[in-house]
Structure 1
């Protein structure tokens, strides 16, 4: 093949590469082409985190809705607990001195009406299981009740377990780091959960209305929280598996019950104390305490060369009496 033909072939290849198809992507409508109503809807979504066609579910026993927006209503309907609702329209009434935002919700074609936003939000939850789970654990009265119940029950249970020299995390633990790690993760997650609500409430509110279990689609602090939740689930499964293999069934069940009680105390304690800023100090102290108790009293580094018994440190074996050096 002559050099002229080689040059022509290379030239053809270059031309083909440069003239390849290029996808410009979907053409987005220009912001100036939006109607005033669409702009208002986007502005409302930015500040309120929901908009038209958003789905709620009634969590109150009943919620009244009126046939007309405004203070004068001629007919009132009631939607009941568990009823799904969709936001049909949103209207601002500046003359309303109580709440200028009115929301039209619809259960079906025959059951729809208006209600003030301030009256609606306490009565509904986003129609998403994650949001409803957040709602359940964010209830103040429930949290205070759980705090009292958990402290009383766990204090009594730990006292009984320690009297019988039963296995319990932090105090008479097994040689497994998973239970200690699980407690640290729950304490850290509770602290982070309360911190997000304190320092970035709007981000948490947006997450509440649009939840996701994918940490890669969230801001870094929410991603860290969701990652810690996944870590709790994984470490929890590993803990149960380790306990089943290390303890007898009856002893293992008691240990897991005690571990659940300690985890409940961690969640309640750090969720509440972080709201008063002392939870951060408590968390540091707790992590140091948990690690010290495990590595000092529960973790066995050595094995007796004579009988195979596990030992915390070199020296005389507590089982056979042989000195290990």
Structure 2
């Protein structure tokens, strides 16, 4: 005997009751499919921050997350297409060396949202860009470096001289000059995003020339500083726990504001081509200066006071760190 049809209001009440009784089911239905493609290992500084933000969203139950690491540039387009055809609604990654291929894939999948690290502009309708606009804490870490060097010589080791790296180095240098106008810099690029041994050798060469503070834009630099008992300033992540007597301070990147904004936009059907770079600035909590930790009592009090005052001015909009994307040069004679 068939059951009588329930009135519509009873069906709605039943659905609501099921949602309350089984929230996990409702959440599973709402999960966004997100994929990420990285050309370097998950632990590499820059990528680790994106991966961390996406893993946090996954832990909250907001997304279903898949990721590929160490993808060769030649394979990047293929992996992007596989993720797009696999039904992923948001694809995240870095397009610096594969701009043309990545933008081509975005054109071929107009209903998929793309958020990629890029030096280029957004591409309508679905290709948004981001990068680590953390020049503000980089300036503050430079102020600390200027106050800690005794030789007046700072060594700087970077990956590639692209805008995303150049602007942080320039900001760091400007900060160092504020607290120590006579400071000199040696700048080297190792032309790799992940080659710790090469970065370490470049750092050793700088120490041999008198540098007693190193700007560790790449992994490997802090290892050299630790071995030679000089100081280092970190970038993107805080490695002081691994180098408690070496890493004084770090400019940290927090990718969560960018990732969370993108996820919200995709879920609302409002994702569009735009620049997510500003989400990395301090006012959006996208970057910060790491706590001094083990160096809290070692950094001169007057330097700490100046850094805190400058940080307050940045957050209040009273001071703007200049964005200089040109390649930085050594100033040592």
* Structure having the larger proportion of residues in helix: 1
Structure-2-length-normalised TM-score: 0.25
Structure-1-length-normalised TM-score: 0.26
